[in-house]
Structure 1
Amino acid sequence: MKKKKTKLFTKVCGLRQADNMAEIDKLGIDFIGLIFYEKSPRYVLLNQELEAEFIPTKAQKVGVFVNTDPTEILALCKQFQIPIVQLHGQESVAEVRFLRQQGLRVWKAFGVSTQIDGDLIKKMKDYVSLCEYFILDTQTAQFGGSGRSFDWESLQNYTLPQPFFLSGGISLQDAERLQSLDHQALIGIDLNSRFEKQAGIKDVNLVAKFLKQLYPN
């Protein structure tokens, strides 16, 4: 008998509109990503509505930061009631340790240029004991949101025990392929630009269709 595939966590990242966030939340996803990177078109503070009022969701909120001062991260997480931070830049081990000591759950993103290789694994090792999860994303100058994927065949080179989310260019057409991925450390998928009507506004019907295709039963 074929082993039933374990359901992966689903994170939808880059939301910055209250109604859109509420509709995505109704789909039963696990995490919602709020991007606090000023150069991103999905920068959450571009929306005064979200800046002024915390939007309640069943999904847990993840604050996405790029090379942000840890004290600023703490302040924003307190303001938006965010328990999880995703660090997407060149944050040091010391910075990660500090945020952990303040009671935050920390995820660390690593950019994959084309393939996962030994140099990347070596860099990741320093963060294993400090991070809850890793994010494997396509390396870009914009720190994500490129709509491009890296070579998923190279996931076989990922030998660390740290659970990871797969990110970077995942689209509706990838649902069947994701069903066939079999890696013991793969714990979730991160959806972003391929599910948008415009930057920061997700297509709710498209996300729903993807989830139905990924888990038809």
Structure 2
Amino acid sequence: MNKDYQVKVKICGITGADTALAAVEAGADALGFVFAPSRRRIQPEAARAIIAQLPPFVARVGVFVNSSPAEIEQIARYCGLTAVQLSGDEPPGYSLNLSLPVIRSLRVGNGKPVPGLNGFRADAFLFDTYCEKSYGGTGKTFDWSLLENMACPKPLLLAGGLNPFNVREAVRTVRPYAVDVSGGVETDGQKDTQKIKEFIALAKGV
């Protein structure tokens, strides 16, 4: 592994300012705000208030599932997002209608192969675990060897069941541009500051 390589970390499912600021202090490169149906869903007003407190060089990613481009653009402008993550069934060319950089989430594993990527318009690809009737946040891993030595045309983000116990192995296996975690840094359904610190330190220490 290149000695200059250091994976970036996105902490997703942010719902409180204290958690957001603690994650940034621990070295998070990006924070994710879920605007889709989820127990981690946040209202635009709350996200805007949190984002207003963040330092300038931390990415603010809005996570959407099958929302209209108009709704995404409206929330992005209102909240001050810097990127959009599409985690639903949006068609490959959907992001042509968006003004911000787009992370395209694709679910793989459990018999679902990695799709061809050339038809997708995206600035990065996030790979999550495929589970029927779920668009992510399942807390389950997939076979990382599916992505090993993969020629991804854009930065590759790895998600799906990551936690402080497996993130080092995940980074060594896939060598992603970034890792994305939500449930893996929670205790009893709430973000755990100590787990966030451990996760970031372990991921970046590889």
TM-score under structure 2 length normalisation: 0.88
Partner in structure 2 of residue 207 of structure 1: 196
Q: 1:187 to 1:115 in 2, by over 3 A?
A: farther
What corresponds to 1:133 in structure 2? 124
2:186 matched to which residue of 1?
Answer: 196
Deviation at 1:113, TM superposition (A): 3.1
| Residue 106 (1) aligns with residue 97 (2) | no
Q: Is the 8 A contact 2:106 2:125 kept in 1?
A: yes
- Distance, in Å, in 2 between the alignment partners of 1:86 and 1:95 is 12
1:94-128 deviation digits (Å, cap 9, x = unpaired): 421111xxx311110000132673xx332x2211x
Distance 1:90 1:205 in 2: 34
Whole-angstrom distance in 2 between the partners of 1:3 and 1:51: 38
- Point out the more displaced range, 105-114 or 151-160: 151-160
Q: 1:121 corresponds to which residue?
A: 115
Which position in structure 1 is the counterpart of 2:73? 74
Aligned to 1:41: 39
AA of the residue aligned to 1:42? R
Q: Which position in structure 1 is the counterpart of 2:3?
A: 4
Does residue 162 (structure 1) correspond to residue 148 (structure 2)? The answer is no
CA distance in 1, matches of 2:82, 2:167: 29
CA apart distance, 1:178: 3.0
Deviations 1:169-207 (A, max 9, x none): 001111331352254xx21100111111244x3211111
Q: Is the 8 A contact 2:31 2:59 kept in 1?
A: yes
Contact 1:18–1:49 (8 Å) recurs in 2 = no
Pairwise CA RMSD: 2.3
Deviation at 1:60, TM superposition (A): 1.1
For the pair 1:143 / 2:135, whether they are aligned, the reply is yes
- Are the aligned partners of 2:64 and 2:88 in contact in 1 as well (CA < 8 Å)? yes
Contact 1:179 1:214 in 2 (8 A): yes
Question: Runs in 1 of length 4+ with deviation above 6 angstroms?
Answer: none
8 Å CA contact retained: 2:20, 2:50:
no
Residues 79/132 of structure 1: CA separation in 2 closer, same or farther (3 Å cut): same
TM-score normalised by structure 1 residue count: 0.84
Native 8 Å contact 1:44 1:51 kept in 2: no
- Kindly provide the amino acid, as one letter, of the partner of residue 214 in structure 1: A
C-alpha distance in 1 between matches for 2:188 and 2:14: 11
Aligned residue pairs: how many? 203
Unaligned runs of 5+ in 1: none
Partners of 2:119 and 2:2 lie apart in 1 by 34
Q: Which one-letter code corresponds to 2:110 in the other structure?
A: T
Q: What SS does the aligned partner of 1:44 have? A: coil
Higher helix residue share = 1
2:167 is matched with: 175
Q: Which amino acid aligns with 1:108?
A: R
